[in-house]
Structure 1
């Protein structure tokens, strides 16, 4: 493509290009994971494909232990697949926003495109570099406190590797760990809990939110996307923590096994924030009460911010649907959020994403119910986790049949790509309409 042509001139539909790229990356990753130097033992092609798909879609569901099954080179391949999958979708989300006439105004003045036809390839290239650069900076900063914990425990080489692996996995909301019990061994560790949760919350918030916060000291104003993500994250994190603490504090298999209140609160915090959509766990998910499992499923369904590394229906979708419900109950004909009108296009995106997510969870639950010998809660939880690319499981993942693994891989792939694809396609249909001079809420 020539330098002077605009993004609209792409001969291939961008969502199709993204899906094809992810598919190729999954297949290449599976092939690399099957090579002898990647393994410490045997690994079937099905397990290699599942692991690669989980890494590229940054889900974190695994059918084999990462730390023991794979050699250093295999773990490095998984790390690169996680980074490519997480940053690949985050970058595409930002570029899709620009392609549809969106604006990003930040301290570094990344891009300020006023309309669909004003998005220049040079701006897109610069923005992509900024997305990747910002991610590497955040991961590098988080590496330091993690290393201070894990180097004394594992030595220099292994300690640094553990720190790097978990930093990348957390920022990209992947949920992969090198420990067989995730972070259960660090349920009460303040540094691990604080750093890991900060990483996946920052990554899940998204590039636009990060830039908006960095720019706030100069502008003293926040974009509606930043407000929605910050408010939604705060409410869901606090309420989720309190609910899980209340439901699990007397459960001797989870929070009740921890010795004091601060330990229980740290574990409750991690378990309340990780479903959107990181997939780490510091308590045994298979042992949580049925009520807690339903709370976790709701959080997995909601997910992260629109332009972040997480999935789910996204925070903005939830806010738009709640605002539409409130407007209907009050018999209002206009829809507003933070005193700003919400366009019909945005409402259509929110409805499309939510309906597709509900349909996907239902179809996935139905399919798993037919292929797996497990209870309804277990298969529904697994389907929700897969389509939300979360990575939490009540123990079903390791016991999946071949057909079950195929179903979960499809759900992970669809859950990772479909919300953004729907948002792009709906936005494209309205791209020629008059653009608002005010910031528009991003869905997807």
Structure 2
């Protein structure tokens, strides 16, 4: 794999930091080069039209008229003024997006975006999202979690549990759930009705381990080996909290992100799955999505799912979203391209990576993209303005394009990086790198 960001620390070494967690939130704004940034946590990515429209109004009135999607299914507003905090807070309270100000940065919950919407017959974990969020917001210890701590609630398909979350819940069937932290082979089995409460207990277990280790770890994977969480202790803690649990070894399934297109649902319904190029939406695009059925779900892959359309209207609605500039088909060249903010928004960036990505995508060789899977999902390409690689893909191999003072470095898992590439050299180099990654994946 390409080198990981500094936050992906080794379990064998304690994490030592000289500052607290500075992850931005809705109340703790981040000063960027293009103004202030607010990150609004949206548990499960689930929004109704009223809240979505209020967020778009805030982006227009207080920000730059765009809404960015994050790799955790949250939303960001950029270009905010230094004095907008009070007005933004008022908007978010009206929208129901700030139920507990002291907990607003810890509400990082991702859920299978198609749960309850397709024909796979898997349990619907959307109720888990609401219950876990309620429990989090009522928990005093939970305020000690970092803004990077992540819960993943999976309906059994294995999409969000592939994102290296800190606490994972996977539905085994309608009545049972599997809970694990670092490794599904070291898990516990609980009743589905107890799953959200068990997930919160696992997070408190992590906080206790951090205190015992004397570190400032923000993620489960950052704990030193001697303080690593284990299923036996977790089961004992759950039992003490009145939650019956048994230790199990789980072979967690793996499923890629939802493909763009129409998702056939039960009872004559359908959902639409689309992506925002480079994870950035205009407020006009955002309002159009929210207005289709009054509900949207943001995905950890910078996509949007619109549930609840009549099946007969789905194709026409999808065509309208394509006309609005959204990615609606698996073979769209923007299907698998992501990027950090880059210049001019980020002072640490060495290049305007979004502009360079756009230039390269328009120059890319024609023809189908190589794919590591039978479903045709192309190999992801992530552009980073510096070695921190903010927002890079999780749970999959990707082609790593990193800006340096000498040009772009391009690397593929297990291969010698190509260094100092000019933008004009990247289209051919990226096509070759994607073929290499696809070929390596096919051999495994």
> TM-score, normalized by length of structure 2?
0.29
Quick check: which one's helix share is greater? 1
Q: Counting strand residues as a fraction of each chain, which structure ranks higher?
A: 2
When the two structures are superposed, what TM-score results if normalisation uses the length of structure 1? Answer: 0.29
